A and B are shown apart, each in its own frame.
Chain A
Amino acid sequence: MSEVNGKNGSASSGNGAGSEQPNGGKTRIAALVEDSKVIRDRAIEEIKALKQPEKTDLWKSILRVKHDETPRSRALGVLSNVFLHLHPAKINRDAVAYNYTWGMGGISFYVYITLVFSGTLLMFYYHPSKVVAFRDILYLEHDVPFGKLLRNMHRWGAHMMVITVWLHMFRVYLTGSYKKPREFNWVVGVILLVLTLLLSFTGYLLPDDQLGFWAVTVGTNMARATPLLGHDGPLGTQLGMTPFNDVRFGLLGGSIVDSNALLRAYIWHCVAIPIIISAFMVVHFWRVRKDGGISGPSPMMLASEIKEPRKF
């Protein structure tokens, strides 16, 4: 084909030797065609390159490291990712087995993330005011698309988190993982457990129904019996405690569970405790790594190998 084209081309150039103008126009068109061919070829080449997106500059700017199956890439893939870098690059072969950790710590954290997500969505539909709080729940249940599912997921997720946190504590205790050098992280864990319960408890009042109202009434009535600081507690009245200045008043923003209590529960539940618990979680996870990673399964120690404690 190219030969025929060449002949045709030479023939036409021979014919048009006399008339310069149209010939010049033809070469310009030919040059344009030639240019467009070059552009087309480049475009094809670039599109072909897209079949390997990991070679593009855009990709490299986002992901930084190669993702092939070399040990180096696998390690860097974890270490250079902000979400994954809580993990070490390598981990004890036996520690990945489910039967040792039960995955309860990780599951607790995951459930917490789902709770933050569903909770944020719920906040779009909820006003923490005595007038509309209950109506907002009805609205959520009946009118908001997937509102019922959203509320259910938040409620059951909260219950689930309480259970998984307990089981996590149970596992850590039974494997003796609180022992040296992880003593302090256990203390942080206990604080996280208490904060989890408080998060769940403050959320209980928010639907503003009979269930939440009386649960919180029962719960906060205990605060009035606080020794020294409650008006019903031992030595409370002697210290001048009344229903209007004791610790329960501080919790509820009043002497009964009313609109102030609702607002306070809302702010503790949606702002204050999530921030506090996140801070403690950061410390908790950081300390897991700094205290030598996950505790086991470590080689067993025999009673005959106990070293004498250091005398001070």
Chain B
Amino acid sequence: MDLHQLWTIISTPDNVPIVMLLFVVPFYSWYALRQAFANDRLIEQLEADPAMAKTHHRKVQPYRPEWSREVHVWPFLLRIEFLAAIIVTVILVVWSITLNAPLEEPANPTLTMNPSKAPWYFLGLQEMLVYFDPWMAGVVMPSLIIGGLMVIPYIDANPLGNGYYTFKQRKYSILTFLFGFIVLWTSMIVIGTLIRGPGWMWFWPGMTWDHNRLVFEVNRDLPDIFGIKSGIMKSLFGGFVVTLYAIACGIGVHKLITRTPFNRKIYGRMSLVQYITMQVFMITMIALPVKIILKLLFRIKYVWITPWFNI
């Protein structure tokens, strides 16, 4: 256990945001889900008791009929904003006094940093380079992430959960987002920052960053395992496997979104375009963890090899 190495990584000034992220993201996830579960309990009560549903104000917040529905922005909101601004300023000033921004040696193209890392918020993408070729990890995936985020409001056919925390009414969409944001995006950033060392090799927290470390792992391609030699056969085989994956994944997603009667009701509201868009993005998103497992557990580099691109 090399505690000094661990401290060096954690206390690197540019890594501090990730260490913060390690606490902030779980905290706010808990904070949101706690409110979601509180709301869900009320929803259950209201569903069980239609008479109550007719008269209830349908919030967990305290309520009295004689209270006015709205309050003045001045002072009730502005004082909060003012306080928030002061608190943020204090945090920022204290942070800036106690911790110096990193400044290393002057840029030197002849002296490569090892590991040379992107800014921490792009480390998820850099970590993806392990599993995909750069055109996929650096260009296609980011574009799909941006596009996928943008289409969310247009493919979510569920009208429930608009403007309040809930888990029960939006299980599928919330789990998808938690999976994408926490499991894929945040944890890949954490891996890229805290785990990846020289040569972008995997160092568990506490392991010494050994610059001379060698890893005797031979990366294989899926067609090689099946003993396929010719280029054309490799292309055809890879295309077949990828298509097979897409179909299997599509069926899995379909099963998932038509599991309960409520899910089927929402599914019935989706247009064909919405459904296809959702499937395309889901299949691509799930391809990432699949590829991670293939690479880390089975040391498979490429599934589909063609003269123009490899996946």
Contact = CB atoms under 8 A, between A and B. Distances in A.
Interface of A: 71, 74-75, 77-78, 84, 87-94, 96-100, 102-103, 106-107, 110-111, 114, 134, 137-138, 141, 148-149, 151-157, 159-160, 162-163, 166-167, 169-171, 173-180, 182-184, 186-187, 190, 193-194, 197, 200-201, 204, 207-215, 217-219, 221-227, 230, 232-235, 238, 256-257, 295-304, 306-307, 309
Contacts of B133: 225
Contact of B103 (A97, A141, A156): A141
A103 B103 CA distance: 32
A214 B112 contact: yes
Interface of B: 14, 16-17, 20-21, 24-25, 28-29, 31-32, 35-36, 39, 42-43, 46-47, 53, 57-59, 61, 67-78, 80-81, 84-85, 88-89, 91-93, 95-97, 99-109, 111-113, 116-122, 125-126, 129, 133-135, 137-140, 146, 149-150, 152-154, 156-157, 159-166, 169-170, 174, 177, 181, 262, 265, 269, 308-309
A139 to B, nearest CB: 12
A207 B103 contact: yes
A225 B88 contact: no
Given A110-B88, A163-B20, A211-B104, A222 B163 contact: no
Contacts, number: 301
Nearest to B105: A210
Contacts of A106: 81, 84
B272 to A, nearest CB: 13
B96 A107 contact: no
A75 B78 CA distance: 12
A157 B71 CA distance: 32
A234 B309 CA distance: 5
Given A84-B74, A106-B81, A225-B134, A176 B96 contact: no
A148 B13 CA distance: 14
Contacts of A77: 74
A179 B159 contact: yes
A106 B80 CA distance: 11
Contacts of B17: 159-160, 162-163
Residue among B14, B61, B125 with most chain A CB within 10 A: B61
A257 B85 CA distance: 38
A222 B159 contact: no
B21 A171 contact: no
A302 B54 CA distance: 11
Contacts of B177: 173-174
Given A211-B104, A233-B139, A176 B69 contact: no
A134 B106 contact: yes
